[in-house]
């Protein structure tokens, strides 16, 4: 086997492999002898078909099979010989000349980038520090009560926080527009569920009252035909309802697994769950900073093949989570930036793992599984679920390895503790 490699632009490589004609023809003859033992042709007894006839009848197909197998095995040997690391599958272009006994092919592919791994020396990483206070627990209790609130009709004018049932019809320049009407729709005033300014103009309205609401659609409204345009809505208020929060009693606590009605134990459980969430948020923020710093410290070219693969994977995940047909076409541009980041991180993190000989311990994997299971009603069932399937468990193994990578890199970074609060860590950004 003779191999030559040409470097193209960036990470592109073009490798020509010339196979030994004697090896190819020997394998073809061997395969034809195997065919001869089973061949059934008119005029010949089983196993007695002459090689000349076999070659004429099956030669082309057998040669194609043999060459396919030899290309696959020789490609692996050739890239190993040339110390190349292909990224993705190669494009194979055969170069066959039977008269000249030439059996060759050209493989075009990209290689993984080579780079000197840099650590996080001189990089600053902030580690948030916080504690769960009694006030945080009180706020969480109110949130849990709000999630289980009920609604009762109110014999008064609507105010912020009330739920109104309305029917409405919208007009632009005096003409009704598509999508601007609804019947018997429920709306919580102050929730921000409608166009800015719509909900506030219904405050003070009572059941049975009609109001004209005038608003303008935001400039970035998702429907470009309506964006930035002023509109008038004729609104009929059918009902005003106020919320009723449940008492923190035995029935309320039972819904959260506290069957004995012990409020002290209930608060302890809430604190434990909040501290677990807080710890996860802190570690996530630190990890994000470490990964950002790692990317900044290790600029590298990306193989287009890997980026395309990642784009396809992100598309599939998006369509699946949205419950949309996999045949729906989404523009690559929507996923390119995320795909590039994921590929870049994958390459650099893999180099960290290799260079520093990191591996996830079974004990840490088990601890992560138990942490994930702790918030469920039957933790052991969740643990068994993960350990019943190696593929499921591999996700926890990857998490454990990422933890090791982050901890290892933090040793060279400048870590500064920054005091914050539970709310600042867990509330969504405005």
- What angle is formed at CA 36 by the lines to CA 34 and CA 41, rounded to 5 degrees? 145
Q: Which helix (H) or strand (E) holds 210?
A: strand 210-216
Considering the four listed CATH numbers 3.30.830.10, 3.30.9.10, 3.10.50.40, 3.40.640.10, the one that applies to the domain covering 150-244 is 3.10.50.40
Q: Which helix (H) or strand (E) holds 418?
A: strand 414-419
pLDDT values of the chain reduced to their tens digit, one per residue, 430 residues: 899 999 999 999 999 999 999 998 888 888 877 766 666 565 565 656 666 666 766 777 888 888 999 999 999 999 999 999 999 899 999 998 888 989 899 999 999 999 999 999 999 999 999 999 999 999 999 999 999 999 999 999 999 999 999 999 999 999 999 999 999 999 999 999 899 999 999 999 999 999 999 999 999 998 989 999 999 999 999 999 999 999 999 999 999 888 888 999 999 999 999 999 999 999 999 999 999 999 999 999 999 999 999 999 999 888 888 777 666 788 899 999 999 999 999 999 999 999 999 999 999 999 999 988 987 878 999 999 999 999 999 999 999 999 999 999 999 999 999 999 999 998 865 4
pTM for this prediction: 0.76
Q: How many angstroms separate the CA atoms of 307 and 289, rounded?
A: 23
Domain boundary assignment for the chain:
2-111, 124-132+259-426, 150-244
Quick check: 245 and 141 in contact, CB under 8 A? no
Q: How many angstroms separate the CA atoms of 37 and 47, rounded?
A: 5
Length of the chain: 430
Residue 370, classified by CB atoms within 10 Å of its CB into exposed (0-12), middle (13-18) or buried (19+), is: middle
Fold that domain 2-111 belongs to in CATH: Alpha-Beta Plaits (3.30.70)
Fold that domain 124-132+259-426 belongs to in CATH: Trigger factor, domain 2 (1.10.3120)
Alpha-carbon distances, residue 325 vs 22, 203, 316, 321 (angstroms): 51, 42, 10, 11
DSSP 256: T
């Amino acid at each position: 086997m003779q191999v030559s490699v040409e470097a193209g632009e960036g990470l592109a490589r073009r490798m020509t492999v010339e196979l030994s004609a004697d090896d190819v023809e020997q394998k073809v003859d061997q395969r034809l002898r195997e065919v001869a033992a089973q061949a059934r042709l008119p005029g010949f007894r089983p196993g007695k078909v002459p090689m000349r006839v076999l070659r004429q009848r099956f030669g082309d197909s057998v040669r194609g099979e043999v060459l396919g197998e030899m290309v696959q095995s020789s490609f692996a040997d050739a890239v190993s010989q040339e110390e190349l690391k292909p990224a993705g599958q190669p494009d194979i272009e055969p170069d066959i000349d039977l008269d000249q006994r030439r059996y060759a092919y050209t493989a075009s592919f990209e290689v993984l980038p080579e780079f000197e791994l840099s650590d996080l020396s001189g990089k600053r990483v902030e580690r948030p520090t916080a504690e769960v206070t009694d006030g945080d627990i009180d706020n969480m209790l109110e949130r849990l009560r709000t999630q289980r609130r009920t609604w009762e009709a109110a014999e008064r004018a609507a105010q912020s926080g009330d739920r109104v049932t309305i029917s409405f019809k919208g007009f632009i320049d005096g003409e009704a527009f598509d999508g601007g009407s609804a019947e018997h729709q429920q709306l919580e005033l102050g929730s921000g569920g409608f166009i800015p300014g719509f909900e506030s103009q219904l405050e003070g309205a009572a059941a049975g009252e009609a109001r004209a609401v005038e608003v303008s659609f935001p400039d970035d409204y998702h429907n470009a035909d309506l964006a930035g345009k002023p509109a008038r809505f004729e609104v009929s208020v059918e009902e005003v309802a106020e919320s009723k929060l449940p008492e923190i009693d035995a029935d309320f606590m039972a819904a959260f697994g506290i069957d004995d009605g012990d409020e002290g134990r209930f608060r302890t459980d809430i604190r434990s769950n909040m501290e677990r969430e807080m710890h996860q948020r802190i570690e996530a923020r630190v990890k994000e900073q470490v990964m950002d710093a790692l990317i900044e410290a290790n600029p590298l070219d990306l193989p287009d093949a890997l980026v395309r693969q990642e784009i396809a994977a992100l598309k599939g995940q998006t369509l699946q989570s949205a419950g949309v047909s996999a045949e729906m076409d989404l523009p690559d541009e929507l996923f390119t930036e995320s795909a590039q980041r994921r590929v870049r991180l994958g390459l650099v993190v893999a180099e960290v793992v290799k260079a520093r000989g990191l591996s996830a311990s079974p004990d840490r994997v088990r601890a992560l599984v138990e942490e994930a299971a702790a918030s469920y009603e039957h933790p052991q069932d969740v643990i068994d679920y993960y350990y019943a399937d190696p593929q499921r468990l591999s996700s926890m193994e990857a998490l454990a390895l990422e933890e090791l990578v982050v901890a290892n890199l933090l040793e060279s970074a400048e870590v500064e503790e920054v005091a914050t609060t539970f709310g600042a860590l867990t509330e969504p950004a405005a």
